[in-house]
Structure 1
Amino acid sequence: MKKRVVSVLLAATMVLSLTACGSRNDESSSEKKEAKEEVNIEDMSFDELKEEAKGSTVTFYGWGGDEKLNAWLDDVFAPAMKEKYDITMERVPMDIEQVLSQLSGEIEAGTEDGSIDMIWINGENFQSAKENNMLYGPFVDKLPNFEEYIDTESEDVTMDFAYPIEGYEAPYGKAQVVMMVDTAVTPEMPANAEEFMEFVKKYPGKVTYPALPDFTGSVFVRNIISEICGWEQFMDMEPDKETVKAAIEPALAYLRELNPYLWNEGKTFPDSSVTQDNMFADGELVFNVTYGAYDVPVAIEDGKYTETTQSFQFDKGTIGNTNFMAIAANSGNKAGAMVAINEMMSPEIQADRFATMKTLPVVDYDKLNDEQKAAFDEVELGKGAIPQDELLSKRIPEMPAELVPIIEEIWQEEVVGK
């Protein structure tokens, strides 16, 4: 997920401008709508959900900045849903803060047949939406693929940025921070924060990270904090600014020391991870960071990066998380959304996404049969990738969602331009 919402979402000012979004255009008659309202989703079996969803449209709202993912959703997932279930998938590209603002407006206006069905979400966005009663659930216990193929006890599935999920979202894909260099230009791959400091000093003006609250810039800073301060103390820390500031001060001092050697001397930072990525690809920077564990082989294959580009991690590990699919509380097609979410967790779809997108799968490998395992085993990760076993062996958890905006605020006050 990209940017997050950290303010109260149920703003009355959104009501009038968004009321027009409330009704679906595909309802052919009031009788059809009344019949639909009589259906009790809670009592349906999954087979009944499939029957209820047949011939319907499911809207899937989420960040649309990844063109390769957009193409996969449109050209692979949507046709599979149409052929298998007679469900039309409508992808709606929108930043998450806009999605949740639209949803809050519809709910505040009393719209029962909302325009939003599925939402790509995680982190403090999920926490805020759930606590403001904007999501439908719990629902994952109705999905056979969740029970059959997902490790339902894993913290990657039960917790989202240390916040209890409680069945209100289902896993979509996994992410993990990796850093990268072009080894033909800078053969060094720092193994820790100390070596990274020396790397930055050796290549002054050629290293930076995206400005917070960009999702990637924020996780890079949190990774530095975890590296220097240790991540364990933050897992049950109160979301108090002074407490957090005292705990992360050694990392803030480190980041301030970096500044004079960064691009533009740390006075400003790239406005987004997309900007940073383009600067790296163009050779303006010699360092890049991404949440996409296998972004490097994908970019090499696409011709964006040189074949000598290599991913690396710090020895103490890098932050990993899971991104999820949720259902709007006022979705007009909850049955269709559940069928679509279930299919997204199928081994076949996850294997195709792994092969095409190089996205870390959410299925539990040990729960697969031999044929299903083979579909994952035969995927070639490509050049510049960290082997999956090594990558996951250095996976460390996200900090609690409520700490993230506090850290971002402190960074703005204590690091930028210092």
Structure 2
Amino acid sequence: MKKFIVGILSLVILGGCGKEEKKVNMYMWGGSKEINKFMDDVIAVNLEKNENIKLNRVPISNIKDTVNKLIVEKQAGKTSGSVDLIWINGENFKELKKADVLEKNIGKNLENLKYVKTSTLEKDFGESIDGYEIPWGEAQFNFIYRGTGKIPFKNYMELMEYVKNNPGKFTYPEVNNFTGSAFVRNIAIDILGYKNIENMSEKELENNLQIVWNYFNEIKPYLWREGNTYPESEGKLDTLYENGEVDVTMGYTLNKVTSKITAGQYPNTSKSFLLEKGTLFNNHYLAIPANGKNKLEAEKVIDYLISSEGQLLKQEPKNWGDLTILDMDMLNENEREKFKSLVENDHLPSMDQLKEKRVKELSPEKLLIIEKGWNNNVGKI
């Protein structure tokens, strides 16, 4: 009888262990209160309910800190790290891949990967993905203005004219912030031409950028606070726009304008616009560190985030407004209509305009040359 009771207790204990909640530490940029709220109040709640996974969002201000953390852990031989999932792209992905600190072939167990656009699985800022990361969303750099009157500028020449005619009403984040870096790259591309930059050697690019630094120094006295200081982040620039201190803001999230209007933070007339030669377009990704403790659970989190449900929730302006990485031809008609309805409104460029004006990201090496050049020739002057 005692053996029977012990057997039952063992089954109960084992059954309880099988239902034990697993925690996934997701390291990601924490500079957007809307994104943070979405991850905590929507995604984390759904994962806990449906997968019994506790998503612990670990906010970071600079992804390079986490990149360095993973590299140092590998060098120290640490096989059980604290990072289970990381949100990355571009130069940070290349550095992690080179250091061999990412789990390989993470898409092999993902049921929803078959719905993802194959083009997003090939390269990240020119670097071959090789199964080390999974796309999470699409982004295209865009500007936002108050929507009254004509678009403030369509190219670098009109921007020069605009800032001189409206002193103190325009600025951009410093280049060490990813939004500031993207703005500077966009203007460099507008001045020099994308194909020209792409065909230049790194040394040629350094030499040719002087005309770009002359341009930025010429507009500097007409910027907010006469260019003596720059907003440290996109969020700070958004606040200046909300408060009416500047008339233009910017960022990679296309539906941000709709999201901010819905939240009552932007004027109802606000609209998004692009440069006539186009703006930078990229995908952002999720990766699993090779020394992560909860790889299986991290894969389940990724699979949910790239599901039709997860992507629709993410594209809703009230949550994030990010564009989906799913292939519409792989979805049913009802799903396609839902996605389509989220990007068709008077505050945004049309999908045709967006596709027409997509400019590929530069290589990480050339990106760093531009950032360094701005710091040495504009930011420190």
1:344-393 CA distances to partner (integer Å, 9 max, x unpaired)?
11111101211232111111112111122132133365552222332232
Answer yes or no: is the 8 Å Cα contact 1:207–1:286 preserved in 2.
Answer: yes
Aligned partner (choices 311, 317, 321) of residue 272 of structure 2: 311
After TM superposition, the structure 1 = structure 2 runs for residues 253-402 of structure 1, keeping only pairs within 5 Å, are: 253-355=214-316, 356-379=319-342, 384-402=347-365
1:68 alignment partner AA: E
Aligned partner (choices 42, 45, 68) of residue 79 of structure 1: 45
After superposition, the Cα gap between the structure-2 partners of 1:322 and 1:244, relative to the gap in structure 1 and judged at 3 Å, is: same
Rounded Cα–Cα distance in structure 2 between residues aligned with 1:151 and 1:309: 31
1:263 alignment partner AA: W
Answer yes or no: is the 8 Å Cα contact 1:138–1:166 preserved in 2.
Answer: yes
Instruction: Tell me which moved more, 253-262 or 286-295.
Output: 253-262
Mind listing any 5+ residue stretches in structure 1 that lack a counterpart? Answer: 1-51
Number of residues paired by the alignment?
361
Mind listing any 5+ residue stretches in structure 2 that lack a counterpart? Answer: 1-17
2:177 alignment partner AA: D
In structure 1, the partner of 2:11 is none
Rounded Cα–Cα distance in structure 1 between residues aligned with 2:324 and 2:343: 14
Matched, 1:182 2:143: no
1:251-282 CA distances to partner (integer Å, 9 max, x unpaired)?
22322222222223333322222221111111
In structure 2, the partner of 1:59 is 25
In structure 1, the partner of 2:65 is 98
Answer yes or no: is the 8 Å Cα contact 2:32–2:235 preserved in 1.
Answer: no
Aligned partner (choices 178, 192, 195) of residue 215 of structure 1: 178
2:23 alignment partner AA: T
After TM superposition, the structure 1 = structure 2 runs for residues 111-190 of structure 1, keeping only pairs within 5 Å, are: 111-146=78-113, 148-152=114-118, 154=119, 156-184=120-148, 187-190=150-153
Displacement of 1:142 in angstroms is 3.4
Displacement of 1:307 in angstroms is 0.9
In structure 2, the partner of 1:41 is none
In structure 2, the partner of 1:246 is 207
Displacement of 1:183 in angstroms is 3.1
1:197-236 CA distances to partner (integer Å, 9 max, x unpaired)?
1111110121111111111111001001111111123346
2:42 alignment partner AA: V
Cα RMSD, aligned residues only: 2.1
1:172-191 CA distances to partner (integer Å, 9 max, x unpaired)?
1111111121134x644312
Rounded Cα–Cα distance in structure 1 between residues aligned with 2:20 and 2:280: 40
After TM superposition, the structure 1 = structure 2 runs for residues 184-199 of structure 1, keeping only pairs within 5 Å, are: 184=148, 187-199=150-162
SS in 1 for 2:67: helix
Displacement of 1:317 in angstroms is 0.4
1:139 alignment partner AA: I
1:77 alignment partner AA: I
2:136 alignment partner AA: Y
1:123-145 CA distances to partner (integer Å, 9 max, x unpaired)?
11111111111211132243231
SS in 2 for 1:366: helix
2:145 alignment partner AA: V
TM-score, scaled to structure 2? 0.88
Displacement of 1:417 in angstroms is 6.2
SS in 1 for 2:284: strand
Rounded Cα–Cα distance in structure 2 between residues aligned with 1:53 and 1:230: 57
Rounded Cα–Cα distance in structure 1 between residues aligned with 2:321 and 2:352: 15
Runs of 4+ in 1 over 3 A off after TM superposition: 52-55, 233-238, 380-383
In structure 1, the partner of 2:3 is none
After superposition, the Cα gap between the structure-2 partners of 1:378 and 1:180, relative to the gap in structure 1 and judged at 3 Å, is: closer
Rounded Cα–Cα distance in structure 1 between residues aligned with 2:363 and 2:276: 23
Rounded Cα–Cα distance in structure 2 between residues aligned with 1:380 and 1:413: 39
Rounded Cα–Cα distance in structure 2 between residues aligned with 1:149 and 1:322: 16
In structure 2, the partner of 1:203 is 166
In structure 2, the partner of 1:36 is none
In structure 2, the partner of 1:409 is 372
Displacement of 1:300 in angstroms is 0.9
Displacement of 1:169 in angstroms is 0.6
Displacement of 1:410 in angstroms is 0.7
Rounded Cα–Cα distance in structure 1 between residues aligned with 2:145 and 2:337: 32
2:163 alignment partner AA: V
Answer yes or no: is the 8 Å Cα contact 2:255–2:343 preserved in 1.
Answer: no
Answer yes or no: is the 8 Å Cα contact 2:151–2:273 preserved in 1.
Answer: no
Rounded Cα–Cα distance in structure 2 between residues aligned with 1:88 and 1:387: 38
In structure 1, the partner of 2:55 is 89
Rounded Cα–Cα distance in structure 1 between residues aligned with 2:207 and 2:334: 52
Rounded Cα–Cα distance in structure 2 between residues aligned with 1:170 and 1:99: 18
